């Protein structure tokens, strides 16, 4: 995909297109491919992610490389919370473990703002980590895209 090619669905969002946009973002993040994920953002995108504030695709890509080097066996589920015009709010949870084998489930909310071409210009993420035992894991699919039949957050009671 080229760098500034439109990324449908485009705003203003309907409920259906907002849900599609959320699933496309989930699929991309589950690929754990920093270059692929970074292309969904404007060249001058601005983020707040925990205590980091990347600006631009290069910083986003570097951030994601560090993230997935640290967060092993990462699996993510996103769910639409609200939408309006060029904005989408999601809630999410992902499971991962560190190098020592300690499992965590990270919960959070994101606020997204898109340009007219469907590229994300602004991303604000608030995230909390909960240590879990391996037997408490709920995200059991092969690395990559979550299968369509796998339950989402609400169905899992998360």
* Contact between residue 141 and residue 150 where contact means Cβ atoms under 8 Å apart: yes
Distance between CA atoms of 112 and 96, rounded to whole angstroms? Answer: 23
Q: Rounded to a whole number, what is the largest CA-CA distance in the chain?
A: 44
pTM of the shown model: 0.96
Q: Mean of the per-residue pLDDT values for the chain?
A: 97
pLDDT at 4 (0 to 100):
78
- Per-residue pLDDT of 54-89, as tens digits, reads 999 999 999 999 999 999 999 999 999 999 999 999
Q: Which residues of the chain have pLDDT under 70?
A: 1-2
Which CATH topology does 15-136 take? Nuclear Transport Factor 2; Chain: A, (3.10.450)
SS (H, E, C) 7-63: CCCCCCCCHHHHHHHHHHHHHHHHHCCHHHHHCCEEEEEEEEECCECCEHHHHHHHH
- β-pairing, 72-84 vs 41-49, is unpaired
Q: Where are the beta strands (DSSP E) in 85-119?
A: 87-97, 103-114
The answer to whether the beta carbons of residues 114 and 40 sit under 8 Å apart is: no
Residue 1: the pLDDT is: 46
At 2 the pLDDT is 61
Cα 7 to its chain centre, rounded Å, is 16
């Amino acid at each position: 995909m080229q760098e500034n090619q439109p990324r449908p669905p485009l705003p203003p969002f309907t409920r259906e297109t907002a849900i599609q946009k959320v699933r496309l973002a989930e699929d991309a993040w589950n690929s754990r491919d920093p270059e692929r994920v970074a292309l969904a953002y404007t060249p001058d995108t601005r983020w707040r992610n925990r205590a980091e504030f990347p600006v631009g695709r290069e910083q986003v890509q570097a951030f994601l490389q560090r993230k997935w080097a640290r967060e092993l066996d990462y699996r993510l589920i996103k769910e639409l919370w609200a939408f309006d015009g060029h904005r989408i709010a999601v809630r999410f949870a992902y499971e991962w473990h560190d190098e020592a084998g300690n499992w965590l489930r990270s919960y959070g909310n994101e606020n997204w703002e898109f340009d007219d071409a469907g590229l994300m210009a602004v991303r604000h993420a608030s995230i909390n980590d909960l240590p879990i035992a391996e037997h408490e894991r709920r995200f059991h699919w092969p690395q990559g895209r979550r299968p369509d039949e796998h339950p989402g957050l609400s169905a899992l009671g998360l």
